[in-house]
Chain A
Amino acid sequence: MKLIVAYINPFKLDEIRDALKNAGVSGLSVSNIQGFGRQAGHTETYRGAEYEVDFVPKVRIEVLADDTLAPTIISTIETTARTGSIGDGKIAVLAVEDVIRIRTGERGRDAL
């Protein structure tokens, strides 16, 4: 089993969700995050004072998947999130030891 964590541009979220649903993903989690990478920050202006803000708003997607579906999910996110511009984000893939569905107590792949 894998935990796929993707950091993406917020405006890509809907497109990625639809693509993942079509690819057979039955659930995912998203959160609003801020971060910095190679993409430069931005300027914010409040009452004439300009501030250089490093942290850029991004969205983090987390998907738990079994090993057979994981490559499809990764490639779907990769192709959907890509614009070719700096700031498209990153995908991390983590090995998962166990998954538990809290309601039923199911474990492992049954809990996915």
Chain B
Amino acid sequence: MNTGDTAWMLTSSALVLFMTPGLALFYGGMVRAKNALGMLMKNFIAMGIVTVTWIVVGYTLAFGPDIGGGLLGGFDYFGLKDVSNVIPEDELGAIHGATVPDSVIMVFQMMFAIITPALISGAIAERMKFTAWVVFIAIWSIVVYAPMAHWVWSANGFIFKDLKAVDFAGGTVVHINAGAAALAAVLVLGPRLGFRREIIRPHALPLTLLGAGMLWFGWFGFNSGSAFAANGLAANAFIVTQIAAGVAGATWALIEHIRHGKATTLGFASGAVAGLVAITPASGFVGPVGAIVIGIAAGVICFLALQIKFKANFDDALDVVAVHLVGGVLGSLMVGLFADSELNPLTSDGLFFGGGVEQLGRQAVAVVIAFAYSFVLTWVLARILDVTMGLRATEADERRGLDLALHEEQSYVLAE
């Protein structure tokens, strides 16, 4: 065991957990005042529900010894059985020669499993029933998240081992996964009352900026912690994360200034998050130059992707598709352009580093697999829940606001 690595991984785990309240505020500020607590709660509850699903069965399905074909982990770690506080000698299911205990990897990965379904909540905002959401994320974390984490991040997962596509911190597992699920969920759920007819505005952008800041801060654990060690690769991931976030935020603000004459706070925050998303899969494979290009591309392309929902007419309330799906695809593909095998021997060189299109092709296949699996399974899950328990709040509850209707609370009371 390496105590320095272990200390960094425990710290990173706390940083990644901190992103979920950050996401809650990021989203909470963007909805109307009557739905603010409903939005916060859909994120916070993930910290409860997914903690349980992960320790019982999610971790073993994702990181248990492979049952064959790189498709799923077995039940060896069911209920955290044999998940040890020391490095097991046989290194069963341990990741790429880790120098930290299995239990630390388990808890670090738990934080990713928590925030990924929470990301979907931005799409279904202001209309999904809380009870349906609880059941949805419990099942989704087991059926959709855990298998994909196995394919991409387990040493024997087929996307990592056979396809040789790489994803440093979650371009496919977290962002494409959540983005594709968001799209499927809103197609089943339908648009909010008044979508495209009424003015539906963010009610408290300072909360959104606070949340964006918390996300940015926590993202250093997300990306840099994905080195699983306190080493040079972690340092690289830390630095390119900062570069991509800053460049993408500034790029987005610049586009707004050119197109609308004024840069916005929401625009800068959205751009920064888009940059963080796009650098996520690449942060352990690209250097500063790649990070600058990824940041610019994320700022431009995710901004343009905002129009998709209006063109295709689906109500992705807080743009999970434009930011996480599009940003995740972008970052995953950019690995195929800017990957540097000298930085990290787990990848082949990208197109611009003399490696040809081979790695780009692998990345593209991984993107398609991740999108297709998440979209199809999420759509089926959402349909089943819609038919059995109902996904949507009643029309009256939606008009009244989810805070009072579903939680019997208000964000902002009149006096005292």
Contact = CB atoms under 8 A, between A and B. Distances in A.
A48 B202 contact: no
Nearest to A48: B306
A69 B327 CA distance: 65
Contact of B306 (A47, A50, A53): A47
B262 A45 contact: yes
Nearest to B260: A45
Contact of A47 (B199, B262, B270): B270
A50 B270 CA distance: 16
A-side binding surface: helix, strand, loop or mixed?
A: strand
A47 B201 contact: no
B264 A45 contact: yes
Interface residues of B, number: 16
Contacts of A51: 199, 201
B267 A47 contact: yes
A11 interface: no
B201 A44 contact: yes
Interface in A1-54: 44-51, 53
B64 to A, nearest CB: 41
Interface in B255-294: 256, 259-260, 262, 264, 266-267, 270
Q: How large is the interface on A (under 10, 10 to 19, 20 to 34, 35 or more residues)?
A: under 10
B201 A46 contact: yes
A53 B260 contact: no
A99 to B, nearest CB: 22
Contact of A50 (B260, B266, B319): B260
A50 B267 CA distance: 13
The interface centre, meaning the residue of A44, A45, A48 with most chain B CB atoms within 10 A of its CB, is A48
Contacts of B199: 51, 53
Interface of A: 44-51, 53
Interface of B: 199, 201-202, 256, 259-260, 262, 264, 266-267, 270, 303, 306-307, 310, 319
